[in-house]
Amino acid sequence: MLQHSVQMPLAAGQPTGYLHSTESGAGVDGPGMRFVFFMSGCQFRCQYCHNPDTWKLHAGRQLTLDEALDELAPYAGFLKFAGGVTISGGEPLMQPEFVGALLRAIKQRYGLHTALDTQGFLHAGISDDWLAAVDLVLLDIKHSDPARYQLITGQPLQPTLDFAQRLQRLGKPVWLRYVLVPGLTDGADDISRLADYVAGLGSIVQRVEVLPFHQMGAAKWAALGMAYPLADTPTPDAAAVAAARALFAARGLTVC
């Protein structure tokens, strides 16, 4: 549901950010049709990342807050009724000043629904007030086992779990995202453990998205001259996806 405008003053000056790209008319990054800002920079090195070209912060296009809003402007009227705006990446919390200002400005100027797509690892760098302009968090939890999580991402799991607890305290709506990778994240016990944890977050979890692994990012790894660690990993079949979704659904979670 679209939210009313939140009146919060922007910080003085014009913060600048690094933007990888934008997408208009996206249908998989939050409710309805979305305009998506893909920010540059990510401290994770996920084995199945399909956008490794977003990892380097300064590889993106530098722009001001007003320039970012100008890119959104042609779509704002439609998005008011059809969906909203999602800030994704890369990892948007690598640029908290710019992204926070952008979220507040989107609320002030257009009154649009906002979503933040993040793994939450850097949440300690933002305040609760920063999150006030976020209507929905698309939260990636990539595995339930700390050792496997570190193997997949190169970073520890606990900060992401701490962020989830913080969102619960704030009553912030969440869509959980889980990428199903054969041989890596498809263990029934691991999924069950995550499902138990997510169910424990209560009513803030509006839905769980089980996303089948795909090979669409392989060409980007090759273009960057990097060896793709999952080049021989297949896409999970329909039965495996259904089984994973059933484990979440068995805890009373809405799954898609």
Q: What's the pLDDT tens digit per position in 89-134? A: 999 999 999 999 999 999 999 999 999 999 999 999 999 999 999 9
| DSSP state for residue 90 in the 8-state scheme | S
Concatenating the DSSP letter of every residue in 41-81 gives: --S---TT-S-GGGSSGGGSEEEEHHHHHHHHHHHHHHHHH
Reply yes or no on whether the pLDDT at 10 is more than 60.
no
Per-residue pLDDT at 25: 83
pLDDT tens sequence across 178-187 = 999 999 999 9
106: helix, strand or coil: helix
How far apart CA 85 and CA 68 sit, in angstroms, is 12
**pLDDT tens for each residue of 30-59:** 999 999 999 999 999 999 998 899 999 998
Q: What is the mean pLDDT of the chain?
A: 93
Mean pLDDT of 154-169: 98
Could you tell me the sign of the dihedral formed by the alpha carbons of 155, 160, 163, 165, in that order? negative
Residue 9's pLDDT band (cuts 50, 70, 90) = very low
pTM: 0.92
Residues 6+ apart with CB under 8 A from 246: none
pLDDT bracket for residue 11 (50, 70, 90): very low
- Summarised one tens digit per residue, pLDDT across range 195-227 is 999 999 999 999 999 999 998 889 998 999 999
Domains and CATH numbers, the chain: 16-249 (3.20.20.70)
